[in-house]
Amino acid sequence: MRLGRALLPQWREWGWADVLIPLFATRMALLVVGRLSLYFPISPDYPIAEIRARGWNFSSYRLLDIWGRWDSNWYMDLALHGYSLRGELAEVQSNVSFFPLYPYLVRALLWLVPDVWQTRGAVLVAGVTISNLALLAALLLLHRLLMEVYQDRSLAQRTVLYVLLYPTAFFLSAFYTESTFLLLAVATFYAGRRRAWGWAALAAGLIALTRVQGFLMIVPLAWMYMDAAGWRLRAIRADALWLLLTPLGFFAHLAHLHQLTGDWLAFVHVQQAWSRDPAWPWQTLLTPVYPNLLMTQLERILTVVCLAGGVVALFRLPSAAYGLYTLMVVLPPLFTGTLTSTSRFYAVLFPVMILLAAAGRRRSVDAAIQSLSFATQIVLMVAWSQFYWVA
């Protein structure tokens, strides 16, 4: 009894109820939507005929299978077989384009599974398990961070909810890297706020092994350090050396790809196989390559909103590092000539959600954000479940 009373305040401080209730509610809603989407026609343009014919990708259990589509195939290939080339680097798509942390976490979890049980469905279970555990940890840490910074429970609650209601937030539970990226990003800011620079650098370094934009995490991390030092060179201590950990994993990954392909920038050059070529941001925004009739319009809107949010976050949030992080995620894809997948990339932009949560203090604004965001997510989840291209 004494132990229970001692732990209860800590349980409340970490906002378990504020996180678990919306997390459970939104995931259940997405499962229902994914199940009912079966009654919508599958796209006749879906490129893999055998999947179109049988109606599932990795598992005949629909409530599991809906979490694995499109790039999930690449991550599963990495988890099972590691890196390999399928042809000329810049001409043939290969898993060299993808970063290793998430699929290798899946591989590590599979060590606990007997070989005879390691079907594609089992691999999907492992990946979805990692994604959802990372999502839970990310939201708990985000809630705790906001409580320490603002001491405002309603703001923390709305921020968590808005993360889950974001139009492509179902990717946070799918066989994708988004929830891992989000967890490590929040962990970097949480550790940086506490001046635990070793842990912050480790989290930032792992982000660089999660997705291509991650190698830029050194920028907001360095800003946080200088903020803590009051921007005085004399205040810089030996603990600044921890920041050097951040790029180590990234360069180790480049060395591995160089050994495989002979190209230190293989992860960049392989993007040409996906029609990602250098372009100016305004060209990408106005005339992207391979525009999608519906998704490109949504991607334009979300890009403008998140760019604006990044700029506002530079001045309105506790540190400009929040804005730098947001711009770090939004800007690099704008130099690739295509907006494809950007709606998914932005699912990790918790600083934008903090700003929206602040605006959501007004009930009318809160209602508008919730209804519009989740309605859009439901439509996209239906499309995603039925193999239409979403992101």
pLDDT tens for residues 51-87? Answer: 777 888 999 999 999 999 999 999 999 999 999 888 8
Which pLDDT value is given to residue 178? 97
Which pLDDT value is given to residue 2? 47
The residue among 113 and 185 whose pLDDT is bigger is 185
Least trusted range by pLDDT, from 9-18, 128-137, 349-358: 9-18
Answer whether residue 12 shows pLDDT above 70: no
The residue among 260 and 30 whose pLDDT is bigger is 30
Which pLDDT value is given to residue 185? 97
What is the reported pTM?
Answer: 0.94
Answer whether residue 11 shows pLDDT above 70: no
Answer whether residue 315 shows pLDDT above 90: yes
Answer whether residue 281 shows pLDDT above 80: yes
Answer whether residue 3 shows pLDDT above 50: no
For residues 141-160, give the mean pLDDT: 96
Q: Retrieve residue 66's tokens.
A: 């809906």
pLDDT tens for residues 374-387? Answer: 999 999 999 999 98
Contacts within 8 Å (CB) and 24+ apart, 103-111: 103/75, 103/76, 103/78, 103/79, 103/127, 104/78, 104/79, 105/130, 105/180, 106/75, 106/76, 106/79, 106/130, 107/79, 107/80, 110/79
For residues 109-138, give the mean pLDDT: 91
Under a CB-based contact definition with an 8 Å cutoff, are residues 182 and 329 in contact? no
Angle between helices 120-150 and 72-81 (to 10 degrees): 110
Which pLDDT value is given to residue 175? 97
What does the alpha-carbon distance between residue 211 and residue 35 come to, in Å, rounded to a whole number? 30
Task: Read off the amino acid at residue 336.
Answer: T
How much is the mean pLDDT over the chain?
91
Which pLDDT value is given to residue 165? 98
The CB density around residue 126, as the number of other CB atoms within 10 Å, is 23
Percent of the chain with pLDDT over 70: 96
Under a CB-based contact definition with an 8 Å cutoff, are residues 221 and 328 in contact? no
Which pLDDT value is given to residue 357? 97
Which pLDDT value is given to residue 10? 57
Answer whether residue 197 shows pLDDT above 70: yes
Which pLDDT value is given to residue 89? 82
What does the alpha-carbon distance between residue 5 and residue 75 come to, in Å, rounded to a whole number? 44
Domain ranges in the chain? 20-274+363-385
- φ, ψ of residue 312 to 5 degrees: the values are -65, -40
- Whose tokens are 């920038």? That residue is 265
Query: Of the candidates 391, 362, 361, which has an alpha carbon nearest to the alpha carbon of residue 376?
Result: 391
Least trusted range by pLDDT, from 34-48, 137-151, 195-209, 256-270: 34-48
Answer whether residue 277 shows pLDDT above 80: yes
Percent of the chain with pLDDT over 90: 72
